[in-house]
Amino acid sequence: LAKTTQPISMDSYEGQEVNITCSHNNIATNDYITWYQQFPSQGPRFIIQGYKTKVTNEVASLFIPADRKSSTLSLPRVSLSDTAVYYCLVGDGGSQGNLIFGKGTKLSVKP
Amino acid sequence: SAVISQKPSRDICQRGTSLTIQCQVDSQVTMMFWYRQQPGQSLTLIATANQGSEATYESGFVIDKFPISRPNLTFSTLTVSNMSPEDSSIYLCSVDRGKGAFFGQGTRLTVV
């Protein structure tokens, strides 16, 4: 599974758009990019998954350039409740169970 | 989505004892996964539990320390054996639902 690199932490204010970029230079052809969110004392929660270009759901957008060596999770108009650790993972989309988590990005949203 | 229930949610145990953590899923799944999250750290996969066969352990984890049972397609247990303070962590089970993994709330274990 490809290794990922993310910023350790980010700060933002309520109402701002937050973009978290993840590098995955060794991504394989059949790898998908998946983002998880983890609140303290809870298990990680699936946010979004994509393979190329752009994916959007009710929670976030995921931007993936043509070379797929990086991806950007975009959270529109964050609130205090978006304070969490965000993990970027890459791997075979058909086998999302045996995951390799990196250190994640700790997002702190301030009022 | 999947509903995953873990028991206990937390426990404080004496060193040298063992604790068995239960994971119940609301529907049948082929594989269940056990993770450990040490304080302030990311998640690390311990093992993959398949129904009807022995669990597959990741490097650094052994069956004698973390025996796993998988008696049916909706249930699994992880035992943390002969505990030491270094085993103090959150232990999580998860399942794959084809697009993303779903995690239980975790079991917060403190060994004193």
pLDDT band at A1; cut points 50, 70, 90: low
Shortest CB distance from B100 goes to which of A49, A98, A104?
A49
At A82, is the secondary structure helix, strand, or coil?
A: helix
Q: Which residues of chain A have a CB within 8 Å of the CB of B96?
A: 95-97
Interface residue A103 vs chain B (CB under 8 A): yes
pLDDT for the residue numbered A93: 56
pLDDT for the residue numbered A46: 92
Task: Give the type of residue at B15.
Answer: R
pLDDT digits (tens, 9 = 90+) for A9-40: 999 999 999 999 999 998 989 889 999 999 98
Contacts of residue B9, Cβ cutoff 8 Å, sequence gap at least 6 = B105, B106, B107, B108
Whether the CB-CB separation of B44 and B87 falls below 8 Å is answered with no
Which residue has better confidence, B2 or B77? B77
- Contacts by A62-71, CB closer than 8 A, 24 or more apart: A62/A33, A62/A35, A64/A33, A68/A24, A68/A27, A68/A33, A69/A23, A69/A24, A69/A25, A69/A27, A70/A21, A70/A22, A70/A23, A70/A24, A71/A21, A71/A22, A71/A24, A71/A33
pLDDT band at B1; cut points 50, 70, 90: low
CA distance linking residue B35 with residue B44, whole number of Å: 5
pLDDT digits (tens, 9 = 90+) for B51-79: 888 999 999 999 999 999 999 999 999 99
Shortest CB distance from A42 goes to which of B43, B97, B105?
B105
pLDDT for the residue numbered A94: 52
